[in-house]
Amino acid sequence: MNDLAWLTVAQAADLLRTRKLSPVEYAKALIDRIERYDRSLNAFLRFTPELAMQDARNAEAEIMRGNWRGTFHGVPYGVKDIVDYAGLPTTAHSKILADNIAASDATVVQKLRAAGGVFMGKLSTHEFAIGGPSFDLPWPPARNPWNRDHFCGGSSSGSGAATAAGFVPAAIGTDTGGSVRNPASMCGVVGMKATYGAVSRRGVIPLSYSLDHVGPLTRTVRDNALMLDVIAGHDPRDPGSANRAAGGYTAALGRGVKGLKIGVIRHFYTRDMQADAEMAAGIEAAVQRLAELGAEIREITIAPLAEYAACNRTILTGEAFAIHEKWMRERPQDYGALARERLMAGAFVRAADYVNATRLRRKLADAFHALFADIDVALTASSMDPACRIDDPQAIDHTYPRQARAPFNVTGNPALAVPIGFSKSGLPLSMQIVGRAFGEALVYRVADAYEQATDWTTRHPHALSGD
């Protein structure tokens, strides 16, 4: 069971395709693992072993008939519970939507089902992807597999925890100010916020129409690229969807970084915010490793982190309140305290503030995009600190905004959170690799080269391994 739990998507696909592994055997092993361990992690909000076994049996029957659908055929996955799966509740981890049954699949779910994926269930989230970690909701918050007393990041909390814990090799999260990359960073996995518009958001409960992204979390870079290959693409039913070709995200893997120009946004984590010493040291060691692999490293300067954060916050809170205004007026008591407080902030965003933030956004984005005339990718911090305790509200309030993810929701560029080691206390460290618009393949190329030169993604939470 433990060996199957740590299969990568790529490894599993090879075994499944060649009939060395049965989809039913694979699904059953992960079901057993979830049943054994998730009671201490709460990664799943709605675990669906019956649906998983049905999908697995269907996948196996097709393989036996020679109908191989591709890399995700027979591979288990989970989705954040703001993503619709037909016939199941989409609750957003909130009392407000406790009885909200999805009438149809979200586009990303349609694509994963069409690819032959095995659906394991709906994963925990912060309430409406903004309020958490919270203990005053109908369901408990997810916890960090490396140390269950610590925060696993959010708002795609269950997606990060389930992937890191070996419950699924891949999961779907969403990212409005860093909510794929935060749990990836806290849980030591790989999380991609692709270019704005690259992945459809149809069937996903919105938080901020102009900042929302849907993205994959996996344990390796190659798996992340493989999952993005499945879920990316134009969707005319999503008004923010980009009408351009998608795919080919694995094409540059294995080509290394020799000759590539990497711009390090060092001032984000040394001057604009002072990162935790272990986090900063981990990033610098990763930069040095990339230099040793042949990359040309140069330091670059962009607008201060606080300017990006304020722009993101103004747009996000203003749009979020517009979405929630009716419920906030009629059912404020049914929100958890954190979501209610964070959503209410949007009621005080003036129209002039919102318009000025959108104008600033264009200015910041244009300036950042121009940098790619001289660099291939940028590199900076993701989180400034390792995960804090989940039961310490003051620590969470302090560390949650200490991040450099929001700038790339503002600019729309692809940004990938990558593991870079562990703190002395055994908690994951991370960095971000950022590319030009629709330059995901190059981001993955750089991340893969670093991953192959280290062993961080081969390490797993021992407390859950059964060793």
Q: Is 155 a catalytic residue?
A: yes
Q: Which of 312, 118, 351, 94 is nearest to 205 (CA)?
A: 94
pLDDT higher than 80, residue 397: yes
Residue 69 has pLDDT above 80, yes or no: yes
If you ran DSSP here, which 8-state letter would residue 129 be given?
T
Burial class (CB in 10 A: 0-12, 13-18, 19+), 71: buried
CA-based torsion, 216, 390, 4, 76: positive or negative: negative
The dihedral over CA atoms of 130, 136, 139, 142, expressed in degrees to the nearest 10, equals 60
pLDDT at 138: 95
Question: Residue 167 is encoded by which pair of tokens?
Answer: 């419950």
For the chain, the first-to-last Cα distance in angstroms comes to 12
Per the prediction, the chain carries an average pLDDT of: 97
**Is 95 noted as a catalytic residue in this protein?**
no
Q: Where would I find the H helices in 209-345?
A: 221-231, 267, 277-292, 305-330, 337-344
- Candidate list 134, 155, 157, 208, residue with the active-site label: 155
Q: Span 383-394, mean pLDDT?
A: 97
Per-residue pLDDT tens for 189-203? 999 999 999 999 999
Statement: residue 123 has pLDDT above 90: yes
Question: Based on the number of CB atoms within 10 Å of its own CB, is 79 exposed (0-12), middle (13-18) or buried (19 or more)?
Answer: buried
Contacts 24+ apart (CB under 8 A), 355-359: 357/310, 357/311, 357/314, 357/315, 357/318, 358/210, 358/315
| E-assigned strand segments in 178-260 | 190-193, 213-218
CATH number, domain containing residue 185: 3.90.1300.10
Find all residues with CB under 8 Å of 122, minimum gap 6, and list them: 44, 45, 46, 48, 78, 79, 80, 81, 83, 85, 88, 89, 90, 91
Q: Give me the catalytic one of 80, 111, 122, 193.
A: 80
147-175 residue pLDDT tens? 999 999 999 999 999 999 999 999 999 99
* CB of 290 closer than 8 Å to CB of 297: yes
In this predicted structure, the answer to whether residue 466 has a pLDDT above a threshold of 50 is no
Q: Is the pLDDT confidence value at 343 over 50? A: yes
- The pLDDT tens digits for 286-327 are 999 999 999 999 999 999 999 999 999 999 999 999 999 999
Range of the domain at 69: 2-464
| pLDDT tens digits for range 106-115 | 999 999 999 9
On whether the CB atoms of residues 406 and 214 are closer than 8 A, the answer is no
Residues 6+ apart with CB under 8 A from 110: none
Looking at residue 2, its pLDDT comes to 59
Instruction: Specify whether 80 is catalytic.
Output: yes
Q: Report the C-alpha gap between 200 and 379 in whole angstroms.
A: 26
- Cα–Cα separations (whole angstroms), residue 418 to 23, 220, 275: 29, 9, 17
For residue 462, what pLDDT is reported?
A: 74
Kindly state the helix (H) or strand (E) to which residue 247 belongs, with its residue range.
none
Q: Report the candidate in 199, 183, 102, 106 with the shortest Cα–Cα distance to residue 142.
A: 183
pLDDT, position 413: 98
The pLDDT tens digits for 20-49 are 999 999 999 999 999 999 999 999 999 999
Whole-angstrom Cα distance, residue 324 to residue 22?
A: 45
- Catalytic residue (choose from 134, 156, 179, 241): 179
Rounded distance between C-alpha atoms, residue 433 and residue 241, angstroms: 23
In the structure, what pLDDT confidence band is assigned to residue 227 with cuts at 50, 70 and 90? very high
Tell me the angle at which helices 49-64 and 9-17 cross, rounded to the nearest 10 degrees.
50
Q: What's the pLDDT score for residue 465?
A: 46
The structural domain count of the chain equals 1
Q: Check pLDDT > 90 for residue 1.
A: no
Which pLDDT tens digit goes with each residue over 453-465?
Answer: 999 999 999 766 4
Cα–Cα–Cα angle for 87, 163, 2, rounded to 5 degrees: 110
Helix (H, G, I), strand (E, B) or coil at 228: helix
Q: What per-residue confidence (pLDDT) applies to 370?
A: 98
pLDDT digits (tens, 9 = 90+) for 266-293: 999 999 999 999 999 999 999 999 999 9
Which DSSP category does 172 fall into? E
pLDDT at position 464: 67
pLDDT tens for each residue of 47-56: 999 999 999 9
Sign of the CA dihedral with 397 first, then 399, 400, and 403 last: positive
Cis peptide before 155 (omega within 30 of 0): yes
**How far apart (Å, rounded) are the C-alpha atoms in residues 237 and 220?**
31
